[in-house]
Amino acid sequence: MKFGSSYHLKYLIKTPKLLHSFYKDAVWVVPNANNEVFLTFDDGPVESVTDEVLSILKSKGVKATFFVVGDNVAKNPELFARVKAEGHEVGNHTYNHLKGWKTDRQTYLENIQKCADLVGSHLFRPPYGKIKKSQLREVAKAYKVIMWDVLSGDFDTSNSAQNVINNVLKNTKSGSIIVMHDNEKSADLMLAALPQIIDGLMEKGFSFGEL
């Protein structure tokens, strides 16, 4: 299958509505009348990656939401402070980037709380989007659980920057939540694609909203 379509052999670029209905306690899209979309970044803050993202966003006048890993916040407190100081939203992405499917309920909830002690956000995104329904029901009591509508594919090292751009521009609709990654693995593709993604979405008449 071609990049830029709704699917890729290894992952879904456009999340199907069946998943939306299966995980009803999570937010997949944010319907609105203002043609807003929602740009999000997972896994930071990471030195020499997140700071580059912040500079790009500032130059474009765009705000985003950063779903941060608690361990990275502990390692890079000044960078985390910069994210907030520049007006971006932050969300909880667990302390150790745990995969819910492979983690028992108590351990998972404790890891979320450990991150919350540093981050203090009401937003949560499960790493990999992999969370048991029982975990989701519990987490949703305290957090607004944010999934996504469009996966950029910037984490795929076999990808190209142009394919990442196409993945986002071809699949984004009003209300879409877009996922990119400010980690070392994704850095080259993400940083090359991000300015053109922002420009392309603006050319399509989209604005960037807050979750």
- Residue 12, helix vs strand vs coil: strand
Q: What is the DSSP letter of 178?
A: E
DSSP class per residue in 40-100: EEES---TTTHHHHHHHHHHHT---EEEE-HHHHHH-HHHHHHHHHTT-EEEE--SS---G
Q: Quick check: is 104 catalytic?
A: no
Spatial neighbors of 167 by CB under 8 A, at least 6 apart, are 3, 4, 13, 150, 151, 152, 153
**Cβ(148)–Cβ(40) below 8 Å:** yes
The residue annotated as part of the active site, out of 42, 43, 154, 182, is 42
Q: Quick check: is 181 catalytic?
A: yes
**Cβ(81)–Cβ(54) below 8 Å:** no
What gap in Å lies between CA 47 and CA 107, rounded to an integer?
28
**Cβ(177)–Cβ(149) below 8 Å:** yes
Both structure tokens of 73: 């916040």
The residue annotated as part of the active site, out of 8, 88, 97, 181, is 181
> Which sequence positions are flagged as catalytic?
42, 181
